[in-house]
Structure 1
Amino acid sequence: MTVQVLSADPEVKQGPDKLLSSRHLVVTRLVIPKGEAIQRHRSLMTVTVVSIKGQVEFHTDDDVTTLVPGKAVVMQPGEFHWLEAPAEDGEVMVVHGVLAQ
């Protein structure tokens, strides 16, 4: 088994910092400055969003979850969602993956 170490780009101060991209797995650090938002979208893969810094609001069409470090959400493929950082800068790690059946 080979271990792959992924490192964030410290130059990325806003938006996506793609750490890994393959057909079945995408890992992205997402930086959202205070007052900014990531527009409504959806993924064809299962999405896991893990807060790593600050406070980020994770929205679906039916709910809002405030993410702080140590809190995460997992959503099924095809669900619309968006993120915003209304109170402070935030960072999340986003994992899009095709889960084994």
Structure 2
Amino acid sequence: MACETKAADLFLEGEWFESFQCWITAGGDPTLQMLMPSVIWGVILVAFFVVGSSPLIPVVLSIILAGVIFVAFPAGALQIVVMTMLTVLSVGGLVLTWRMGR
């Protein structure tokens, strides 16, 4: 997705989702298009882990998302990259919360 118009103009036109997407990915940078949703997903998983005090809910949600990714995206390197990022975020958040709790 390339942002031809500014995020503020899209927001004023009522295209809120597109304006947020352009803002969070710095105008459609491909690296940020993959990184920022993964970071947001990682924060959500860590929040579920902290609230639930168990890695069960984040692991189940990651498995469900992995199934959706395998079905929605064509086979290739993108799946491997996204799955690796999800795994690293999940494990990193888990290790971080365990270390901070000790």
- TM-score, normalised to structure 2, is 0.22
When Rg is computed on C-alpha atoms for both structures, the one with the higher figure is 2
Structure holding more helix per residue? 2
Structure holding more strand per residue? 1
- TM-score, normalised to structure 1, is 0.23
